[in-house]
Structure formats: C-alpha cells, structure tokens
Structure 1
Amino acid sequence: MLRAGVRVPEDLSVVGYDDSRFARLPGIDLISVRQDIAQMAELAVRAVVERLDLPPREPKDVALPPQLVVRGTTSPPRTRSQGPARA
C-alpha cells in the first residue's frame, strides 16, 4: 500500500479475518475478526461423537459469535466536504 501511496487508515480502512500472528506485528497492527478455534474444535468433536452414538438425524447449524480485535487499521469515513485525504 505504501508503495502505491495509499495510507492505512487515512486513505483506506483494512480489516482482516482469523487474527493471525501477522496481524499483531508492530507496523501491521491489523484490526481483525477472531473466532474461538478451541470452541469450534470442541463443538465439532461433540457433533462427531453424537453422530456415532445416536441414531441418524437432521444436521444442525451452529453459529459462534466472532470477536472484533480493534487495532489501528480503520478510521471513520471522510465526509464529502473533507475531500481527498492526500495533500
């Protein structure tokens, strides 16, 4: 982005997904959506065990709430009166 002259977050807001180690590096500081991997694994194993132990039945959907990890790669949108952020 820097080589293209785009400043984050001044010109462009960026959000990642999965909150990787890369997102936490100094200079990257990427806002990210995190999912609880341990809880996902626990629920998946539980579902497999239920499938093996119980008679067949309809599959069920499970939704886990994501967590937004706020760092430094987003900003509020500029208003039209502000114009371009670049000088």
Structure 2
Amino acid sequence: MEKRERIPPAGLADVRIVAASPETARQIAEVLRRCFSSTEQRSYPAGPEGGTRLHLSVDTAHAAEPARSWLAASTSASGNRAQSDEI
C-alpha cells in the first residue's frame, strides 16, 4: 500500500531538517522561527548512519521580515517533484 503524505492546510508548511548533528538542525530551526511562527520542533534519529531529523510546522501567513518580503517577491518553483531521496 502506498504511503500518502498529509498535506498541511493553506498557509502552513511542514519542514523536515536532516543534519549530521542535533545542534546543526536546531540552528536551522531557529532561523526559521525568526522568520515564521512555528510549532515546537520534534527530533528523531536520521537513520543507521547517524544524524538527526527535525520536524516542525511553520505558518507562512504570519511571516516576519525578511521572510515576508522574500515570499512576496518569490515565484513558485516549476515541477513540484519530490527529490529522489525523500521519504
């Protein structure tokens, strides 16, 4: 059976960060929190080779600068294809 991914409601985005160390993942999450309202992060082991996978949801409807100006100026990427290593 194919696993179906839950699509977040409009204005929200689920973010997954995979990094070699928990500290690196937390640093990236902190940058996102400075730009967007977000949920509390959840972290998990990244796999047999080590590392950390961190998940959080961000609210793009309540973006702070500099994200607000970037979102207003950006265009959607063509080809919304998943990368080959996404799960």
More strand by share: 2
The higher radius of gyration belongs to: 1
Q: In which range does the TM-score fall when normalised by the shorter chain?
A: under 0.3
TM-score by length of 1: 0.20
Q: Which has the higher contact order (CA 8 A, sep 6+)?
A: 1
Q: TM-score, normalised by structure 2?
A: 0.20
